[in-house]
Structure 1
Amino acid sequence: MTFLAKVRAQHPLIHNITNMVVTNFTANGLLALGASPFMAYAHEEVADVAAIANAVVLNIGTLDPYTVESIQRAGRAANESGVPVVFDPVGAGATPYRTQSALQIIEHVQVDVLRGNIAEVANVIGESWQIKGVDAGAGEGNMIQIAEQAAQKLKCIVAITGEKDVVTDGQNTYTIANSHQILTQVTGGGCLLSAVVGAFIAVADPAQAQERLEAVTEALAFYGIAAEIAYEQTAGQGTGSFQMQFINQLSLVTPEIVTARAQITSSKA
């Protein structure tokens, strides 16, 4: 059984502390996939929710001190309960406060998956890379090298998305060539992907490191394939039509379609 099939069979509960721009899109995307979203932010309950979730997804898109504290409480509770944590350091490197907050979270929470663009991931590990708002700019270095360096330093799976996506645990690396550029014109495309990664790693065996790595890889391939098919069906209709069809495809893409269309290559560090 593929991880996609497991998500739809098990309906994992995904606790999201995400940003106000993407909350609705994230919840609808998870529901379309077959997962169960839970959006909880209050200090009084985030630890309780994280402890009963199947995965916790932490996102700093709209940032303030209250949210940082919520994220740390949820992350620590997830760590204590053995619940996998996905961290999306949205815009890390754009401002000192945003970068410092990302570093503070990583210091206090053991992250299982770091998911971001190359600028965000590079800035989290102290590498210089330009960022414009939440979009990656110019920088020196190779995406695979940055990803592997981050995975080794943080002792977690790192997923960097871009023209091609890279997933690595620092030793084993997968490159995924599925997706469509139009997805970058939809607000929350990356944030929802982090939540989808949470759903996929939620159904992987926590004792099997390779299985968790493969779950994250399949999540990115699945997401990219949904974008490809959505574009094929709405070409010329604009981003609004694409966004609606993309949500449709998150519920319609089957494991068989993923197997047939996935463009994944592997390598070792």
Structure 2
Amino acid sequence: MEKRKLTSEVVKKYDEAGLKIDHERVLTYSQLSCPLECAYCFVNDMTTNQQKEVAYLTENQIDLLENLPEEIRLIMLGCDTEFFQNKPQSLDILRRISKFGRDISMITKIPISEVMVADIKRIYDEMKSRGNFLSVSMSLPCISEKMLAKYEPQTPAPERRLATLKIISENEIPAMLAIRPLLPDISVGELEEIVALSRDFVVGYYSGPLYLNDDRIAKLLPETIVEQEARQPHWMLDGNTFKEIKKEGQIEFLKSTVEKSGRQFFEGAADGMKYLRGNIK
């Protein structure tokens, strides 16, 4: 099939298929529901109709990814649900899209075995030989028992996520840590601990605001008043609006902490991938 040109009609076509084109990247939104049900997650409040026991990507989505406009350099997996919840299926999808001539960024909260990491390493090496990169981000927005009980009661323990990050690093697969969303009630000490425990295993870190609707704000942060109107983040599918929750000075503190640790701080995974292209041989 002929490669598509990046026009407004093409962007709309991809958006309607659950693929959000944003600058040089495409974010994949899945019909597969997430088993982790993090309290801060906006997915259940989106207009997408997620279900259990469906493929992470439809065949139509895979076809569209294979025929992306040439301007799109990066495919992002795990944007709205857990990509690795069905590990054999996720590896199959990864193998297929790894041949599409694009970089790939994945994010997860689920521990990955050494055997599976070795499979990912083989895919990474094949991609690298063709001039593309792959990275894995581990999501770890909080680490204390109090914050985990509030926001991530069903997620794998931080120790298991960090152990996976170590295995990924030992296999020389570029890894990043996502302290995202940046929770407004997390302490500076907890942020410092997350960086201290993970710095040896990652190229860098990225973060970003918390996005909630009014109901979740009232439930999770009842003392917080957000006066701004709900808006659609530029990386989200059309028709979904949320309020952005930021704590003054928090992102600057995290950036300073990361840089003091000797690691890079990125605006997001896409920014991290640009760094990899320029710095990893």
> Which one has the bigger helix percentage?
1
Choose between structure 1 and 2: higher strand proportion: 1
Bin of the TM-score, shorter chain as denominator length: 0.3 to 0.5
Per the normalisation by structure 1, the TM-score is: 0.40
Larger Rg: 2
